[in-house]
Structure 1
Amino acid sequence: MEDWHPEALAAIADRLGIAFDDITPPCARRFSCKDGLSLNVLDWGGSGPAAVLLHGGALTARTWDYVALALRTDARLLCIDLRGHGASDWAEDYSIGSHATDVLVVLDGLRIERSRMVGMSLGGMVACEFALRYPDRTESLAMVDVVSRPLFGATTRMRAFMGGFPGASTVEEVVAMVLAVSPKSDPDRLEYRMRALLKQGHDGRLAWKCDLRYRGASDYAVLLHHLAGFEARVPDMAHPFLLARGGNSRVVSEEAADDFVRRFPDGRWINVENAGHNVQEDNPRDLAHALEVFWARTM
């Protein structure tokens, strides 16, 4: 399926109050990892400092489209399809370490020495792991709605929907399915998201663009254990840190946000109002502004 829908993107961005001048599509680039896996990267161009944006589990690099429109004149934005997601290859190894190494492959391939790191949910874990492993390649770290002890139980309904998805004939059919269980969702933004998340399978029906083989209870236990392990590691991080919590998030409480940020030598956190877990889609204007302010402070 074609991922680039500029008219829909521009209309939604305008309605969300996002100021933008350039609606040209990002350049799709591919990078090969040592294990032979191929990664897809959306390079939004620009001459500013590099910033890597990493999506959450079961999402794709396109989840950053609204934010990228707002920030593309201020930074060289690189939105990566994590392995097993979007147009990147599926793999047998989905460890956080392997994801972090993939980011390094992209930066090396583009000859970028240092980058601002931004990640939402799973992408936030990867961004944090990268910053800890490769401090000399990191300018700053921003994590979006993920902390060391999140309430992943709040995502049960969403994960059940993804795992039990029977396929569909049209995107509109999928949108109707989601609206049936989440009637307050914005239909236009929902359709834009689904066009990025779905692909046509061998049987002609639509299926997810992600590998759901490793999303059982044991795999979430591994993720939670890795997240908790950050608590002992981040006190040594010298980079500026920002946690952007969705103001309506059920995954990250304010108490958990405050506890996690206190462990960083140079950390702060904010609430992004009118946003749930998917902050970058729920309120991209305010998230983009928060990143601008954060980056300006770290220059």
Structure 2
Amino acid sequence: MSALRFGTEAPRVTLLHGAGLNAHTWDTTSLAMRQPLLAIDLAGHGDSSWRSDADYTPRTLAVDVAAALDAWTEQPQLIVGQSLGGLTGAALAATRPDLVSALVIVDITPGIDVSAGPAALRAFYEGHTDFATRDELVDKAMSLGFGGTRPETERGVFLNTRVRADGRIEWKHHFAHLVAQALAAHDPGSAVAPSVLHETGWDDMAAVRAPITLVRASRGFVSEPDAAELRRRMPEARVVVLDATHNVQETAPAALADLIASTAAGTPTGSGL
């Protein structure tokens, strides 16, 4: 397991990224918070190892996160998880409540409908999985509407790729390779197999005893019916809407940092619904 450590004191906040991302997705949010924290590369992402069984479901990932927290933290953490990281955080809080003081879930629920996302992702990942230059990936990402400005996209691609021994560029995260393999086999069902969804997600959420905040991105994946279902199942949960896309930590880092910091301080802010 790999992680980024911000600050010199023991962290009170741990950040978990979404599928296909890495710990660096939190860089701007982390710098805005100005407090010690830990940003973990989930298994199969960033500089953490790929799983030989390709099992990246939240409960499996939570076991690895628990081991990392046992080794790298000294007190229960405010867990902030975006997308896949949010469901992983819920699984962690359900199975290791001693490690979690509060849970912030960013733009995900177990019942979310992600049907709008896979088409663009399939177009992005289909074909070969290695490239001559990073510029190829930047051009493809921008043509499909991923990333922001070119410099921002170049930074994201640089941090999410590596150079192989033969000089070719490949993605660091395992998901790109799994999706490409499934598409090559003409199995669209398997192409979305490394999904953030898991049938036990609601069971995990129901088992969480720590306070829960759902951050819903106004231009993200969580719809109002999705948020309403979470409120129905967990009436004590707080729901906050931020003006952002699905990757809130990248498109509204200051607002998210304020929300996380106030939650950590026990004085939650934001437009709770």
Give the structure-2-normalised TM-score.
Answer: 0.84
Matches within 5 A, 1:112-123: 112-123=74-85
1:271 Cα deviation from its structure 2 partner? 1.4
1:162 Cα deviation from its structure 2 partner? 4.2
| 2:186 paired residue number | none
| 2:142 paired residue number | 179
Matched, 1:195 2:158: yes
CA distance in 2, matches of 1:178, 1:225: 24
CA distance in 1, matches of 2:227, 2:95: 23
Any conservation in 2 of the 1:100–1:127 contact (CA below 8 Å)? yes
Change (3 A) 1:181 1:120: same
CA distance in 1, matches of 2:235, 2:74: 26
Change (3 A) 1:224 1:164: closer
Residue 114 (structure 2) aligned to one of 152, 170, 184: 152
| 2:132 paired residue number | 169
1:63 Cα deviation from its structure 2 partner? 0.7
CA distance in 1, matches of 2:250, 2:73: 30
Any conservation in 1 of the 2:10–2:73 contact (CA below 8 Å)? no
Local SS of the residue matching 1:88: coil
CA distance in 1, matches of 2:141, 2:13: 32
Local SS of the residue matching 1:154: coil
Deviations 1:135-194 (A, max 9, x none): 121100011111121122122134214422533333333222222222883222212211
CA distance in 2, matches of 1:137, 1:298: 21
Deviations 1:263-284 (A, max 9, x none): 23531111110x2111111111
Matched, 1:41 2:8: no
| 2:271 paired residue number | none
Matched, 1:238 2:238: no
Any conservation in 1 of the 2:11–2:38 contact (CA below 8 Å)? no
1:253 Cα deviation from its structure 2 partner? 0.5
| 2:95 paired residue number | 133
Relative contact order, higher structure (CA 8 A, sep 6+) = 2
| 2:229 paired residue number | 259
Change (3 A) 1:91 1:49: closer
Any conservation in 1 of the 2:87–2:201 contact (CA below 8 Å)? no
Q: How many residues align?
A: 256
Local SS of the residue matching 1:97: helix
Change (3 A) 1:55 1:68: same
Change (3 A) 1:180 1:232: closer
Any conservation in 2 of the 1:238–1:266 contact (CA below 8 Å)? no
Change (3 A) 1:268 1:46: farther
Change (3 A) 1:225 1:110: closer
| 1:68 paired residue number | 30
CA distance in 2, matches of 1:295, 1:170: 42
Change (3 A) 1:47 1:169: same
CA distance in 1, matches of 2:261, 2:14: 14
Local SS of the residue matching 1:247: strand
Local SS of the residue matching 1:139: strand
| 1:19 paired residue number | none
Any conservation in 2 of the 1:119–1:125 contact (CA below 8 Å)? yes
Local SS of the residue matching 2:245: coil
Local SS of the residue matching 1:140: strand
Any conservation in 1 of the 2:124–2:140 contact (CA below 8 Å)? no
4+ residue runs of structure 1 moved beyond 4 angstroms?
Answer: 213-216, 218-225
Deviations 1:61-110 (A, max 9, x none): 11111111111x33x21111111111111112423222111111111112
1:42 Cα deviation from its structure 2 partner? 0.9
**Higher mean Cα deviation, 96-105 or 230-239?**
230-239
Unaligned runs of 5+ in 2: 183-188, 269-273
CA distance in 2, matches of 1:210, 1:222: 11
CA distance in 1, matches of 2:3, 2:236: 30
Give the structure-1-normalised TM-score.
Answer: 0.77
Q: Cα RMSD between the aligned structures?
A: 2.5
